[in-house]
């Protein structure tokens, strides 16, 4: 790759926006300067914005491509390619693909598609078929009876960067409301007796498997020095458990109470960008905007909608008055730091050239994307 000069841009830096230019040299940024470059071969970018590439630590987007309609299983290789393309178009240059390892309902789609999804990601990475930089986020469903034999071989994949401790047992955390649980898994919700029997069965399963699974999973996490996240913390006691386990990330707290406890403990707090854009949680949990107002939001995750990250930045600006650099940090520098990725998430000399050229007044839409200095998307 030859040197490339991107000129006449609004550079969104760590704490300010300046009119300037950047010089790309191979996979890295060689220079960042204010004003016009005044150099031969400089590419006039027409005053567009230049943002650091977005870093996503939890995307479930692949699931929609694996099962585009209920009962339809799409070939995993094609699903991975569509997923990668959608991430890139949304400005996500680094992604932790979230794979659920087990589920509360044993025959769920997540259980059925896990092996094929992982194999397709491995093959796409081996063949150089991925344009964004992909890592793995393994979601360990602690009450799932078959968790350990499913999880252990996945941990040998060098792409694993993050593991989260999940527990979707109904009656707690995300599924405090049993009707929502029934709707999510497509279960009959009309009969109260059915739901009570289901709740009792799942609680028995939780009590039987969760404690021993948690201890073994934590041993593996420590041996491999993985980043660890809690998930759907609801009570202060949930946060206390996460701290005892060594978690550094509090992912999608469902109440302000839990988020404030995580803040006091110094955990990195992740909220959903779809929640922010839509004005509230589709699951009835605390609104991301409320978390941000309370100073309890560090990272935005696109979760199930890759395209939610860019408009979420606008919400932080218009609703809370956040500066653009502060808002952009929630989708770039903050998640990169939480994942231990020190070479990306900012526009700076010597860092990876993961960059977004964005057009519009706010900014509004992604026009070009560079990943490791290579232009991967152009309009």
What is the SS3 assignment for 202-266? HHHHHHHHHHHHHHHHHHHHHHHCCEEEEECCCCHHHHHHHHHHCCCEEECCCCHHHHHHHHHHC
Give residue 378's pLDDT: 86
Average pLDDT per block of 10 residues along the chain, 379 residues long: 89 98 97 94 96 98 93 94 98 98 83 95 97 98 96 98 93 66 61 70 91 98 98 96 98 97 98 95 88 98 97 97 98 98 98 98 94 92
Q: Does the reported pTM lie above 0.85?
A: yes
Give residue 248's pLDDT: 98
Domain ranges of the chain: 1-52+344-379, 54-341
Token pair 């069965």 is found at 201
Give residue 374's pLDDT: 96
Provide CATH code, domain 54-341: 3.20.20.140
Q: Pairing relation of β-strands 299-301 and 268-272?
A: parallel
Q: Decide yes or no: CATH 2.30.40.10 for domain 1-52+344-379.
A: yes
Give residue 253's pLDDT: 97
Give residue 321's pLDDT: 97
Give residue 2's pLDDT: 73
How far apart, in whole angstroms, are the C-alpha atoms of residue 372 and residue 341? 14
Strand order in the sheet with 54-59: 54-59, 92-101, 133-141, 160-166, 227-231, 249-251, 268-272, 299-301
How far apart, in whole angstroms, are the C-alpha atoms of residue 214 and residue 99? 18
């Amino acid at each position: 790759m030859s040197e490339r000069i991107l000129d006449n841009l609004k550079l969104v830096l760590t704490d300010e926006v300046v009119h300037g230019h950047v010089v790309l040299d191979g996979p890295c940024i060689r220079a960042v300067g204010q004003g016009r470059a005044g150099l031969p071969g400089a590419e006039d970018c027409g005053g567009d914005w230049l943002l650091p590439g977005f870093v996503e630590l939890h995307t479930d987007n692949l699931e929609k491509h694996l099962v585009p309609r209920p009962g339809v299983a799409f070939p995993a290789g094609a699903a991975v390619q569509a997923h990668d393309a959608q991430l890139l178009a949304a400005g996500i240059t680094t992604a932790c693909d979230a794979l659920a390892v087990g589920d509360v309902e044993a025959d769920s789609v997540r259980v059925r598609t896990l092996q094929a999804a992982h194999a397709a990601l491995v093959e796409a990475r081996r063949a150089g078929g991925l344009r964004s930089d992909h890592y793995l986020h393994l979601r360990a469903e602690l009450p799932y009876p078959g968790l350990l034999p499913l999880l252990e071989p996945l941990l040998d994949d060098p792409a694993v960067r993050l593991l989260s401790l999940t527990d979707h047992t109904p009656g707690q955390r995300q599924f405090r409301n049993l009707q929502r649980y029934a709707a999510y898994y497509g279960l009959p919700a009309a009969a109260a007796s059915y739901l009570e029997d289901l709740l009792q069965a799942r609680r028995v399963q939780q009590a039987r498997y969760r404690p021993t699974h948690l201890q073994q999973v934590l041993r593996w996490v420590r041996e491999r020095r993985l980043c660890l996240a809690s998930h759907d913390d609801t009570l202060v006691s949930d946060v206390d458990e996460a701290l005892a386990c060594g978690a550094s990330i509090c992912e999608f707290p469902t109440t302000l109470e839990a988020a404030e406890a995580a803040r006091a403990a110094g955990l990195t707090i992740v909220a959903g960008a779809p929640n922010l854009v839509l004005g509230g949680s589709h699951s009835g949990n605390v609104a991301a905007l409320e978390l941000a107002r309370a100073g309890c939001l560090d990272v935005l995750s696109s979760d199930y909608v890759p395209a939610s990250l860019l408009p979420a930045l606008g919400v932080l600006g218009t609703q809370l008055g956040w500066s653009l650099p502060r808002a952009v940090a929630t989708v770039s520098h903050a998640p990169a730091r939480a994942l231990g990725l020190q070479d990306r998430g900012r526009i700076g000399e010597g860092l990876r050239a993961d960059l977004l050229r964005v057009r519009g007044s706010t900014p509004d839409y992604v026009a070009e994307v560079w990943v490791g200095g290579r232009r991967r998307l152009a309009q």
